[in-house]
Homo-oligomer: A and B are copies of this chain.
Amino acid sequence: MIDSYSGASKKAGMPPGSLIHIGNVQEEDSRISVIDYGRDDLEEPVVETVEELLKFREKESITWVCLEGLKEVEIVELIGQYFDIHPLVLEDILNTHQRPKFEEYDDYLYIVLKGLSLKPDENSDHGGFSVIYEQISILVLEDFVFTFKEKKDELFLPLIQRIRTSNGRVRSMGPDYLAYAILDSIVDQNFVLLDSMDESIDAIEEELLTNPTADTLIGIQRLKRELIDVRRSVAPLRELLSSILRSDTKLIGEKTQIYFRDVYDHVLRITESTDSYRDMLASLLDIYVSSVSNKMNEIMKLLTVFASIFIPLSFIAGIYGMNFENMPELKWQWGYPAIWGVFIALPTVLLIYFKKKKWL
């Protein structure tokens, strides 16, 4: 589940703007990592306190501060103080039930969205998996980019590598391009998810058309719920990116706009894919229901064939099992063979009839 609200509701009675971390992800210690780079130089200082960041304000270079783990609220609070961030933004960073959105302030931009990672599900047959969501906030200032993540993971590693090796475009462009690159890393994770969805749907379809069981139904239901969650984290991205594109903030250069348009295209593709998965799952459920009906039909046909052949025969045998005194047939010499004739003829006729009705 992306959002159990168990946290959100706890806060219902609290004053707005109070800085408290609300989240589901198991708490980890916070870790600050900093990378400061210009076109020609790059520094990765070890930073323990927020104050140490202030010295990078004087430098012309771009400083990317990444905070992983939101338990230590005071770090976020201090960043808010030193860099003059609006209290509501700080609150949103800490409350991890945010809807993905883009907000434009005078001196900075605030982007919040869901990063996701896949965990294979061991209990499931058809390539099942579960998705873990993590809220990621991005603050873009004139020379700084802050990212706030709930968990420590390797999500940004490839991007950091690209910054380290000075070749990439990223070194020669501004913090807007860095923000783009970060956004791109997060959004592109969705393609991995889509791949898994794809495989799961194919596996289920295969199973459906060959041997549908009650487990197939559970599989469809699981995917459906997963998809509802995914859509909730993905759908607002479209609006988020089109706000960025429409925005006329001076913090995003004209040259970088085109890159955000590229992310926008990715988001459109992801949205359309989730839409078609939704259609496919709906269609799979329809097929499932039909398959079950079909199977029932088959069962009923067999029952009917058996019953309508043997019940009349039993009745006939029953007739000549009666103990009436004068039952002349019983004494006829050919009575017994004759009755065997009936026992053979009747089923034959019925079988031909069922054959003609295509029941066999």
Contact = CB atoms under 8 A, between A and B. Distances in A.
A295 to B, nearest CB: 6
A101 B307 CA distance: 63
A209 B221 CA distance: 10
Nearest to A279: B228
A192 B14 CA distance: 13
A341 interface: no
A141 to B, nearest CB: 18
Given A304-B302, A306-B312, A336 B327 contact: yes
Interface residues of A, number: 114
B317 A308 contact: no
Interface string A83-121: 000101000000001110101000000000000000000
Nearest to A293: B292
B300 A303 contact: yes
12 contacts: A15-B158, A88-B258, A99-B272, A103-B261, A217-B291, A293-B293, A296-B296, A310-B311, A310-B314, A325-B330, A326-B335, A327-B336
Interface of A: 1, 3-6, 8-9, 11-17, 86, 88, 97-99, 101, 103, 158, 162, 168-170, 180-181, 184-185, 188-189, 191-192, 194-195, 198, 205, 209, 211, 214, 217-218, 221, 224-225, 228-229, 231-232, 235-236, 258-259, 261-262, 265, 268-269, 272-273, 276, 279-280, 283, 285-297, 299-304, 306-308, 310-315, 317-327, 329-331, 333, 335-336, 339, 343, 358-359
